[in-house]
């Protein structure tokens, strides 16, 4: 009986063109648009030293600390050099700035400051560099004024990098930061398995479809009916996710950094959670199939938005301000599992996300089955 119900529902899902479009074709189309939008951006973001003109003046010559800092951040033999410094008088510096040869001018007029013609990334970095230097000097001066005996300790802490930072290994396969948006696309595709889960509820609920009326009068146990239908939904969803991954990696050339088996396991967990989420929406939300579909689409897009599909800044703000919401968001959990693989954040974080996804799947499934099990009809 299980296999008969499984195969029948499998055929029903595959033959439903509207269902196949939204659960399989739409993610493929969106993935194509992502590729057109993000391809080549990473290669254009190679950092180059910022050209800057420094005005030579008595004040500059008298500031030995700043001159030493400039020599350090512009050293030719340093791979992480920040600036490309040109020393000139005021007139020559302004000419270079007007000609676009430098992005800014550093001078003392009367205090340490900068002159730019436009705003941009380089100008912002240059301003941050000067602000950091001035803040460090101000801190040292304040400490010396209040307690000269601690001056050496403070300066040692300010110059000791390991006091504030800890080196962490990064996956050497990381090549494209924009791959995170493709991860949100995969998460959305997994949650779109909710369309299949919703269709399962429609097929076994007598008040939602003629098919549900016929099923309800059969002697098949609700548990067996629900499990066999959900198994067919998950099977179709897994095939759709496989097609999406093959399309993204094989045709569009998106590099996910290896670890295919771990990525496949995360996709499987996401597909289970998506189908269970759709079944729960179908049981909990009142109204017809179109109303339930609207709630499913809206909630799925909201979860993907919170996971950073439109802006990664949103995901970070939610994780910082509402960590509980991030832990209860299946799209965010799936994306975080992918991030832990791609950026080398550790298997512990990956495993925690997968376990939380499975826990949400169990909760959604229990809620859906509990609602279906209690359904009673006066007449059919």
The pLDDT score that the predictor gives to residue 281 is: 94
Let me know if residue 169 belongs to a domain: no
Let me know if residue 378 belongs to a domain: no
Where does residue 346 fall: left (phi above 0), alpha (psi -120 to 50 degrees), or beta otherwise?
left
The edge-to-edge listing of strands for the beta sheet with 83-88 is 83-88, 50-55, 104-108, 112-115
Give me 226's structure tokens.
């629900």
Same domain, 268 and 339: yes
Same domain, 214 and 302: yes
Select from 49, 53, 59 the least CA-distant residue to 112: 59
Same domain, 84 and 26: no
Going through the chain in order, the beta strands assigned E by DSSP cover: 50-55, 83-88, 104-108, 112-115
Question: Mean pLDDT score of the chain, rounded to an integer?
Answer: 83
The pLDDT score that the predictor gives to residue 162 is: 43
Percent of the chain with pLDDT over 90: 33
Select from 361, 340, 335 the least CA-distant residue to 350: 340
The domain that contains 99 carries what CATH number? 3.40.190
Let me know if residue 6 belongs to a domain: yes
pTM, two decimals, is 0.68
Q: Which among 159, 193, 213 is the end of a domain?
A: 159
54 pairs with which residues across the strands? 87, 106
The pLDDT score that the predictor gives to residue 135 is: 82
- Residues 380 and 377: their CA atoms lie apart, in Å, by 7
Let me know if residue 245 belongs to a domain: yes
The pLDDT score that the predictor gives to residue 164 is: 40
Q: What is the mean pLDDT of residues 165-174?
A: 50
Let me know if residue 164 belongs to a domain: no
Residue 144 burial by CB count (10 A; 0-12/13-18/19+): exposed, middle or buried? middle
> Residues near 232 by Cβ (< 8 Å), separated by ≥ 6?
5, 6, 7, 9, 10, 13, 200
Let me know if residue 335 belongs to a domain: yes
Least confident of 113-122, 186-195, 266-275: 113-122
Q: What is the mean pLDDT of residues 116-136?
A: 84
Let me know if residue 351 belongs to a domain: yes
Q: Is the pLDDT of residue 114 over 50?
A: yes
Give the C-alpha distances (Å, rounded to integers) separating 290 from 92, 158, 282, 294, 297.
70, 61, 10, 6, 10
The pLDDT score that the predictor gives to residue 348 is: 92
Least confident of 39-43, 131-135, 259-263, 316-320: 39-43
Q: Which among 131, 159, 187 is the end of a domain?
A: 159
Same domain, 200 and 151: no
Same domain, 352 and 328: yes
Q: What is the mean pLDDT of residues 270-296?
A: 92
- Which domain range does residue 119 map to? 47-159
The pLDDT score that the predictor gives to residue 277 is: 96
Task: Label residue 268 by pLDDT band (50, 70, 90).
Answer: very high
Same domain, 233 and 266: yes
> Residues near 229 by Cβ (< 8 Å), separated by ≥ 6?
5, 6, 9, 200, 203, 204
Q: Which among 115, 130, 159 is the end of a domain?
A: 159
Same domain, 245 and 194: yes
Same domain, 125 and 220: no
Task: Label residue 70 by pLDDT band (50, 70, 90).
Answer: confident
Q: Treating both helix axes as pointing N-terminal to C-terminal, what angle do 289-306 and 194-204 enclose, rounded to 10 degrees? A: 160
Least confident of 4-18, 68-82, 94-108, 287-301: 68-82
Classify strands 50-55 and 83-88 as parallel, antiparallel or unpaired: parallel
Task: Label residue 163 by pLDDT band (50, 70, 90).
Answer: very low
Let me know if residue 377 belongs to a domain: no
The pLDDT score that the predictor gives to residue 66 is: 85
Same domain, 30 and 53: no
Q: What is the mean pLDDT of residues 312-323?
A: 87
- Residues 271 and 233: their CA atoms lie apart, in Å, by 9
Q: Is the pLDDT of residue 275 over 90?
A: yes
- Residues 335 and 308: their CA atoms lie apart, in Å, by 9
Give the C-alpha distances (Å, rounded to integers) separating 332 from 105, 161, 270, 319, 370.
44, 33, 11, 9, 26
Q: What is the mean pLDDT of residues 341-356?
A: 89
**Half-sphere exposure (Cβ direction) of 296: Cα atoms closer than 13 Å:** 32
Number of structural domains (the chain) is 2
Q: Is the pLDDT of residue 191 over 50?
A: yes
Same domain, 136 and 239: no
Greatest mean pLDDT among 104-118, 145-159, 265-279 lies in: 265-279
Same domain, 363 and 327: yes
> Residues near 152 by Cβ (< 8 Å), separated by ≥ 6?
none
Same domain, 99 and 22: no
Q: What is the mean pLDDT of residues 275-291?
A: 90
């Amino acid at each position: 009986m299980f296999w008969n119900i499984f195969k029948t529902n499998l055929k029903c899902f595959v033959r439903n063109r509207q269902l196949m479009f939204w659960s399989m074709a739409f993610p493929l189309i969106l993935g194509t648009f992502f590729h057109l939008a993000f391809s080549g951006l990473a290669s254009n973001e190679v950092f180059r030293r910022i050209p800057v003109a420094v005005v030579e003046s008595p004040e500059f010559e008298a500031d030995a600390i700043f001159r030493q800092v400039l020599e350090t951040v512009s050293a030719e033999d340093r791979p992480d050099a920040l600036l490309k410094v040109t020393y000139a008088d005021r007139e020559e510096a302004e000419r270079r700035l007007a000609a676009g040869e430098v992005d800014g001018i550093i001078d003392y007029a009367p205090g340490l400051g900068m002159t730019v013609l436009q705003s941009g990334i380089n100008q912002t970095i240059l301003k941050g560099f000067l602000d950091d230097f001035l803040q460090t000097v101000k801190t040292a001066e304040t400490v010396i004024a209040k307690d000269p005996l601690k001056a050496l300790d403070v300066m040692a802490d300010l110059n000791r990098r390991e006091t504030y930072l800890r080196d962490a290994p990064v996956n050497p396969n990381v090549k494209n930061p924009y791959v995170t948006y493709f991860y949100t696309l995969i998460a959305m595709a997994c949650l779109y398995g909710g369309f299949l889960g919703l269709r399962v509820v429609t097929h076994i609920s007598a008040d939602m479809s003629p098919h549900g009326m016929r099923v309800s009068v059969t002697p098949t146990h609700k548990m067996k009916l629900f499990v066999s239908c959900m198994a067919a939904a998950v099977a179709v969803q897994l095939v759709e996710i496989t097609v999406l991954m093959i399309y993204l990696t094989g045709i569009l050339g998106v590099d996910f950094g290896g670890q295919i088996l771990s990525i496949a396991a995360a996709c499987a967990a996401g597909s289970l959670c998506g189908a269970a989420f759709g079944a729960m929406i179908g049981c909990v939300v009142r109204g017809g199939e179109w109303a339930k579909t609207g709630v499913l689409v809206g909630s799925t897009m909201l979860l993907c938005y919170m996971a950073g599909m439109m802006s990664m800044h949103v995901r970070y703000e939610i994780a910082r301000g509402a960590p509980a919401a991030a832990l209860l968001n299946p799209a965010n959990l799936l994306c975080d599992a992918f991030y832990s693989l791609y950026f080398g954040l550790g298997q512990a974080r990956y495993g925690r996300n997968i376990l939380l996804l499975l826990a949400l799947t169990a909760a959604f499934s229990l809620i859906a089955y509990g609602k279906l099990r209690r359904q009673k009809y006066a007449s059919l």
